[in-house]
Structure 1
């Protein structure tokens, strides 16, 4: 067969096969229809949930086939921790109405919608922050009608609620001489790092953060290992640092604020680096010098440090009452403190004894003058003539920086008799009180002025404190008063910004009465 005939035969064969294929009847199913596509919307970016209440979420479920209703799909609301660990399926309907029983934390909530006809799954997610009514608000400590220490909380998780009798119903023994109620540990949820302390001169304990319940085993003696103090059970912290620095509950030093310290009723200072020590655990006191290590120096009840951020290598200052001088403790790993050096020509000396002066009062602020980004600190000192001075300094690092010195003018009536002082972070103004009288003194050099506020009330003033934690940019002053009939009262005032005068304006809705005789307040921003 020649090549032409061969090619012709192939063409004939191909045509025949094509003909046979055309005669075959395809019996397959080609009845195509559009599937029901589902769109989920209406979920907020996050939800705040308080334990004991109902979590309600009503998403918008849209189906492409309009004749179908929500019953055409199955619904699964699935709660996750850490994006991958399934906690529970908390709902099986299009609208979620349920109570959650989980540990307070931030969770991811997925809504999975499954088309029953096709099995195709559609999904969307949101965040759920679970908290208790004790998670956010102002912690108050003071005394009740009988002079016993008592704590209250103005809860601000949702609606403002006042929780009373926290100490007396905590299960702890009766306590006296309240000092502070404060939250340590920043935003950490580790119970060995985050602690809520109630501090009094007769005993100090850390409470259960969720219930505010107490237990006498939760005391400093059980988180301290020391071979220097024979009666470890008697160690009673009354001052702590660092404080909460913002509304979200963070503290100076960042997320977990590893460096922290307390001052006890005996004037000892215990410090720890909770990351290196595996938690909030303490060893021997650090109120000593390397050159005379066996001698502990009695500390005044004040810490000075930069509230906004005390640094990646944290440091703080304290006051040695034995030698009338400031001291520095750096890094929170050292076994001792050091005396900061003076330089010739300095505006003041860290060694007050060298100038015949002693400490009266100390406070930290959010003031950023002279480049003090993370907040200046203040001290009021006096000399043996009765003259008073204001020291302003930046308490950071091993060489804290002196910012200014002010001599208090005699126009500041009864400044030396003040029960309480409070420094404004926004102005050169210090408020102080004597009995039921509230005064303000503008210490701006050459422009000193004195103000009094007789319109406040006739009640005894029991606390003055500027907000350095919640909304410090507003320059808000909290004033606590007390009388035997209407009991304690807490009010918030905004201090005006006019440099030519000092005025205070009550903040609407920030006035609470029927309370304890308030000694101190601190913000709590996390569980």
Structure 2
């Protein structure tokens, strides 16, 4: 008992000694410092935003001792990334879709005590709709900019490398789109990698065909369309795709209608590719049917010959509606190609070219096909050839039954090898660019020998305030033919789009498709490098931009 008593007595004395030590260190009530506890209001627990939307948050701070905002440090984080260091947040969401854990941190400068407010940012795709897209060259690299058309928005400038951490390429060449939407997951559909559930953006860059999701603008898991995609139905002999090098692509809807055998929309699309001077072809469908393909189709004039990097459908006649079953498709004619080795036109079906006798259409040795299109005149197409000396010729090709003919030809006049063309569907006019000017020319004047000249000018960039260094580098017309877009470069002789200041512009005009009068509606300045191609990306197909069997105009540009 005495031993136990002494033990407890020792513990009691030790506690008194320890208490005395703390007191001696100056920790009495008069030495305690009250902490300024911060209450944070004005921040939602969750924000639902699209990619490239602006996010603005103005929190309210209330301290138990003081609320002077100058006495604090601030940090905003979204998805573990620092996005702001001020009391208010103003940022643009440059993140891929998904739920992003975020927080606002307030630090007292004097005490270094931190307060936290956690919230979430749910990011959705801002690109699953209609966009104006610009493929450009910026500081020696291929880049893409875009503008949403579903609501008032700012341009998203040169998004690709900053968003995905790698460049698209160095030599941008052409934009195109596949409207087809696969009804099964990509890995289960016979159309992969041509199409997925959102459709496809196709970017020709460095003679490779980059595959981008049309809904999210993300690169595909399979980054490029390779030759073996066209050989999947070939078993014997072993497919020969030697020389595969994509140079030109074209797509066309040939069935887009309510499925007569069930629900949904029946979608079928042709895809043409000129690669390494040969023809590649795909007939694609949204259903799990076996598509048909052709590959490495050589010229009918010689297997060692080489097709020009351009082709076009001679006719594209709108499909007739049948009762309440609206069609948004075309009866497609032959696909016209040009053998640059011998200077002769030929026509193809399903990737197989066939000869056109020189007694019907003469040869043009030393020329390349650089543009072509069906015209508003039934059975007639318009083509532009470029000679080795860079002079141009405008041609009209006719067709009666299965026989082609050359119905007229003239010099290209003021047009140049860098000119861009668009042939109107609803009138016999072609609009084309040359330097800093835009021209319109009646293709029926080819028959009378009229050469396009200065009298055909409809627009000069100088009238819009541009200096002599500015030039038109790309052009497109909307599917309703109510809008004309021009890509303008202010880089002068700089062919790489160098410098920190972007000098690529887009001009948007209202176009009267009857008179071809233009009314400038918007001048988008500094939104890209040198515009190589500018187009409207439509998320859903409607022939001529009209729904309800061609009744309701839905283009929103």
Q: What TM-score bracket applies, with the shorter chain setting the length?
A: 0.5 to 0.7
- Aligned equivalent of 2:307: 299
State yes or no: 1:362 paired with 2:366: no
* Counterpart-to-counterpart distance in 2, 1:203 and 1:282: 19
- Aligned equivalent of 2:531: 518
Deviation sequence 1:500-525 (CA, Å, 0-9, x none): xx75321x246454323211123322
* Distance change >3 Å, CA 302–CA 261, structure 1 → 2: same
State yes or no: 1:490 paired with 2:520: no
User: Where is the strand percentage greater, Structure 1 or Structure 2?
Assistant: 2
- Aligned equivalent of 1:241: 250
> Equivalent residue of 1:223, what SS?
helix
Q: Offset of 1:496 from its aligned partner?
A: 5.6
Contact 2:127/2:216 (8 A) holds in 1: no
For residue 410 of structure 2, the aligned residue among 403, 407, 410 is: 407
Unmatched segments (≥5 aa) in structure 2: 1-47, 53-96, 99-123, 187-191, 258-264, 319-328, 492-500, 541-557
Q: Offset of 1:317 from its aligned partner?
A: 1.3
Q: Offset of 1:163 from its aligned partner?
A: 2.7
For residue 322 of structure 1, the aligned residue among 334, 338, 341 is: 341
For residue 149 of structure 1, the aligned residue among 137, 142, 164 is: 142
* Distance change >3 Å, CA 159–CA 286, structure 1 → 2: same
* Counterpart-to-counterpart distance in 1, 2:503 and 2:528: 6
- Aligned equivalent of 1:377: 381
**Aligned counterparts, 1:93-104, within 5 A:** none
* Counterpart-to-counterpart distance in 1, 2:404 and 2:241: 38
Q: Offset of 1:179 from its aligned partner?
A: 1.5
* Distance change >3 Å, CA 256–CA 51, structure 1 → 2: farther
Contact 1:359/1:379 (8 A) holds in 2: no
State yes or no: 1:455 paired with 2:463: yes
Contact 2:317/2:332 (8 A) holds in 1: no
* Counterpart-to-counterpart distance in 2, 1:257 and 1:394: 27
**Aligned counterparts, 1:67-146, within 5 A:** 132-144=126-138, 146=139
* Counterpart-to-counterpart distance in 1, 2:344 and 2:513: 35
Deviation sequence 1:201-225 (CA, Å, 0-9, x none): 2532212333322257332225243
* Counterpart-to-counterpart distance in 2, 1:243 and 1:137: 19
Deviation sequence 1:424-444 (CA, Å, 0-9, x none): 445554444443344444565
> Equivalent residue of 2:354, what SS?
coil
Name the Cα RMSD after superposition: 4.4
Contact 2:253/2:270 (8 A) holds in 1: no
* Counterpart-to-counterpart distance in 1, 2:305 and 2:536: 31
Deviation sequence 1:462-483 (CA, Å, 0-9, x none): 43434152x21x3x43221122
Q: How many residues align?
A: 369
* Distance change >3 Å, CA 400–CA 195, structure 1 → 2: farther
Q: Offset of 1:185 from its aligned partner?
A: 3.8
- Aligned equivalent of 2:278: 268
* Counterpart-to-counterpart distance in 2, 1:212 and 1:497: 31
Q: Offset of 1:282 from its aligned partner?
A: 4.5
Q: Offset of 1:186 from its aligned partner?
A: 3.5
- Aligned equivalent of 1:420: 420
- Aligned equivalent of 1:436: 436
State yes or no: 1:504 paired with 2:527: no
**Aligned counterparts, 1:206-245, within 5 A:** 206-215=211-220, 217-221=222-226, 223-225=229-231, 227=238, 229=240, 235-243=244-252
* Distance change >3 Å, CA 328–CA 480, structure 1 → 2: same
Contact 2:176/2:250 (8 A) holds in 1: no
Q: Offset of 1:141 from its aligned partner?
A: 0.9
* Counterpart-to-counterpart distance in 2, 1:417 and 1:391: 15
Contact 2:284/2:291 (8 A) holds in 1: yes
For residue 467 of structure 1, the aligned residue among 477, 487, 495 is: 477
Contact 1:340/1:399 (8 A) holds in 2: no
Q: Offset of 1:313 from its aligned partner?
A: 6.9
Q: Offset of 1:136 from its aligned partner?
A: 1.6
* Distance change >3 Å, CA 188–CA 497, structure 1 → 2: same
Q: Offset of 1:315 from its aligned partner?
A: 3.5
Deviation sequence 1:374-433 (CA, Å, 0-9, x none): xx53212367999754223468x9836558424248xx4x43465434444455544444
Q: Offset of 1:187 from its aligned partner?
A: 5.0
Contact 1:151/1:165 (8 A) holds in 2: yes
Contact 1:408/1:443 (8 A) holds in 2: no
Deviation sequence 1:250-309 (CA, Å, 0-9, x none): xxxx95333221122x222211222499567855312333x86xx253111112114555
- Aligned equivalent of 2:268: 257
- Aligned equivalent of 1:180: 174
- Aligned equivalent of 1:116: none
* Counterpart-to-counterpart distance in 1, 2:153 and 2:255: 19
* Distance change >3 Å, CA 272–CA 362, structure 1 → 2: same
Contact 1:464/1:477 (8 A) holds in 2: no
Q: Offset of 1:200 from its aligned partner?
A: 0.8
* Counterpart-to-counterpart distance in 2, 1:161 and 1:243: 31
Deviation sequence 1:154-206 (CA, Å, 0-9, x none): 22133344333343133555512212222114355554344321211253221
- Aligned equivalent of 1:117: none
Deviation sequence 1:300-333 (CA, Å, 0-9, x none): 1112114555855763111111121111111x2x
